[in-house]
Structure 1
Amino acid sequence: MTINLLATQHLAGMDLLQLADFSSESIEGLVRLADDMKKNKGNYANSLQGQILGMIFEKSSTRTRVSFEAAMLQLGGHAMFLSSNDLQIGRGETIEDTGQVLSGYLDGIMIRTHHHSRIEALAEAASIPVINGLTDAYHPCQALADLLTVYELKGKFKGQKLVYVGDGNNVAHSLMIGCAMTGMNFTLTAPAGYEPASEIVEKAKEMAARTKAKIEITADPCEAVKEADFIYTDVWTSMGQEEEAKERLKAFAAYQVNDQLMSLAKADCKFMHCLPAHRGEEVSASVMDGAASVVFQQAENRLHAQKAVLYSLMKK
C-alpha cells in the first residue's frame, strides 16, 4: 500500500488525458494500486465519500459508463450520467464554458468524446480533474486495465511481448504507449493504410528507448505473433466508421485472430480484446471463447483500474 501511494500521491488534482501525461513510475503505481484495490476492496470504501463525478458521453458506451459509475459508488462517491443530448453543449454551448460551469458543481469530470482537442480544451477550462474515457486518439483507461491484466497474469511487464493485430486506432495508440512506458515489447500488425499515427509511434519509440522495450510495426501477422505472450485485437470498424465497413472487412480479411494464428505464438499465449467483439470478423469464436481468452478479466479490470485513477486524482 505504501509503495502504491508513494507512486501516485502526487497525481491529486491532475488530469488524465493520455498515459504520457504521467511518468512510467506513476503508471506502474496506478497498476499496483488497482491490483491492491481489487484484492482489498474494503480498505478503500468511502475514500471518495461526498464527491461527485460528472460523466459526459458524446459517444455511447457499456463498459465505460458502468465501470466508472460502479467505481464511484464503491469508493463512497456519486456519478452523474450526462448525455450530450441533454446538455447545452448539444445545442452549441462551448466545451470551455461547460468545463467552467461544471467545475462549480462537481469534483471530477470523465468525458467520452470525439476529437482529442476537445478534451484538451475541456481540461484547460476546468479547475477539477478531467479523465479521458475515450477520444479518437487515445483510450488510456482501457490501456490501464490491459496493463493490470498483464500484471495479474505475469507479475511483471519487462520481457513480455504483446502483439496487436488490426486497426491502428485509439486503443492501439494507448496500448503502445503503455507498453513502451512499462518496458513491454509491442508489435502492431496491420494492412497498409491502417497503421497507427506516425507521431504516436515516434513518441512510443522515444519512451521505449528509456525502458529498453521494442516497438515494431509490420504488415505480416504471422511473423508478428511469433514468441508472443499476448495477442490483442479490436473491432475492424469502430464507431463513426460504419460507411467504411465493407472496405475494412476486405482490407483486414487476413488479420483475423483464429486458432491458426494463435498456434504461431507461445504455447501459453493469452488472447485479449477490449470489447465489444464481433465473432467471425476480427476474432474467431473458438479463440474468443477458448481457454486462452482473458477478455472478461480485462473487462472487469476496467472497474479496478478506474478506481485507482479516481482515487489518485480526486482524493482530497
Structure 2
Amino acid sequence: MRHFLTLKDFTKEEILEIIEIALEIKKNLKNKIYNKELAMQTLGMIFEKSSTRTRVSFETGMFQLGGHALFLSNRDIHLGRGEPVKDTARVISSMCDMVMIRTFEQSMIEEFAEYSKVPVINGLTDSYHPVQLLADYMTMVEYGIHENAIVAYIGDGNNMTHSWLMLAAKLGFELRIATPKGYEVDSVILEDAIKMAKKSGAIIKVSNNIDEALYGATIVTTDTWASMGQEEEKEARVKAFKGYMVDGLKMCLAKKDAKFLHCLPAYRGQEVSAKVLEDHADIVFDEAENRLHAQKGLMVWLDQQRDK
C-alpha cells in the first residue's frame, strides 16, 4: 500500500506512470468510454481548508470511476472537536477505501497516514500541494512543453513552490525560483531538492531576482501572494511583492513561445496581469481541468499498488 503525501516519496518512473494512466483516462472520457476502475469504492474527503477545484475534481473523479466520494468537513466530524488524529484515521480507514485530506500541517496528514489502513492522498497542506503538480505536468505533456523545460516560478515560497522543487528534482528539468526577501522557500525542503537534483540532473536556481529567473524560460508560473490562513498578512504581502506581478513586460523576458501556468484562483492585477492570464487562458483552464484527470490517474494507480 502506498500513500501520496509528497512527490519526494515517488520515483520519476512512478510519477510518469501516474501521468500516463491519467492521459489514458482523459482520452477515454472524451470518447465517452467509462471504465469503472474503482467501482463500489468510497473516498473519504476530509477538508480542514475549503476548496473549489479540490472538492469538485475528487468528487467528480470518484463518481466517474464508479465509486463514491464522501465530503467531511472539520465541522462535521470529531477530528475538528478534539478527537486524536490517529483515532479518526483508524475509524475512517476502516470504512473507506481511500482518504483525501486538505489541511494545514503536513505533520497532521503524515500522522493520519501512519494509522490508516488505506491509501491517504495529500489534497494540500501548508508545505506541499502535490496533486496540483500532477495536473501541471500532465498539462505540460499535453502541450508538448515538458521536454527540456525551463520553469520560472515567480512569487511566494509556499506549498506550490515546494512542490515544484520536488517535481523538478525528481524529473530532472531546470527550475528557477524568484521570491521577495523574507518569503523564500523552506531551507530544509530546498536542501532535500538539491540532494535529489544531483541524481536526476535537475538544475535548481533560487534568488530574489525576477529577471534572471525569467530570462529564456519556457514556462512561467506563479501563485496567489496570500494563501488560505494568511489573510491578515495580505496588506503587508501586497507591499512586499510589489514588482513580482507577471505582466506582459515580464513575459517578454521568457522565450517568445513561453507558456504561462497558474494553479488558480488567480488575482488579476496582483500576481498576474489580466492580459497575461487571458492570453494564456486556454492552457491555464486546461490545467485546471486536468486536476480531475490527474487525480483519477493517481487514485487508480494507488489502487493498483494494493494488488502488487
Instruction: List runs of 5+ in structure 2 lacking aligned partners.
Output: none
Q: Does residue 35 of structure 1 match 2:23?
A: yes
Aligned partners of 1:272 and 1:293 also within 8 Å: no
Structure 1 distance, partners of 2:13, 2:100, is: 23
User: 1:314 offset after TM fit, Å?
Assistant: 2.2
Aligned partners of 2:260 and 2:280 also within 8 Å: no
Q: Does residue 57 of structure 1 match 2:57?
A: no
Change (3 A) 1:207 1:309: same
Aligned residues: 303
AA at the equivalent of 1:274: C
Structure 2 distance, partners of 1:18, 1:44, is: 29
**What residue is the counterpart of 1:92 in the other structure?**
82
Alignment map for 1:231-310 (pairs within 5 Å):
231-291=220-280, 294-310=283-299
2:126 aligned to 136, 139, 143, which one? Answer: 136
User: 1:292 offset after TM fit, Å?
Assistant: 7.0
Q: How much is the aligned-residue C-alpha RMSD, in angstroms?
A: 1.3
Percent identity between the aligned chains?
49
Structure 2 distance, partners of 1:155, 1:204, is: 22
Structure 2 distance, partners of 1:248, 1:293, is: 29
User: 1:198 offset after TM fit, Å?
Assistant: 0.9
Alignment map for 1:45-194 (pairs within 5 Å):
45-154=35-144, 156-157=146-147, 159-194=148-183
Aligned partners of 1:162 and 1:186 also within 8 Å: yes
Alignment map for 1:19-30 (pairs within 5 Å):
19-30=7-18
Change (3 A) 1:209 1:293: farther
User: 1:58 offset after TM fit, Å?
Assistant: 0.2
Q: State the Cα deviation string for residues 60-87 of structure 1 (Å, max 9, x = none).
A: 0000000001110111111000011000
Aligned partners of 2:44 and 2:72 also within 8 Å: yes
Aligned partners of 2:21 and 2:301 also within 8 Å: no
Aligned partners of 2:137 and 2:146 also within 8 Å: no
Instruction: List runs of 5+ in structure 1 lacking aligned partners.
Output: 1-12
Aligned partners of 1:269 and 1:292 also within 8 Å: no
Aligned partners of 2:22 and 2:294 also within 8 Å: yes
Q: How high is the TM-score relative to the length of structure 1?
A: 0.93
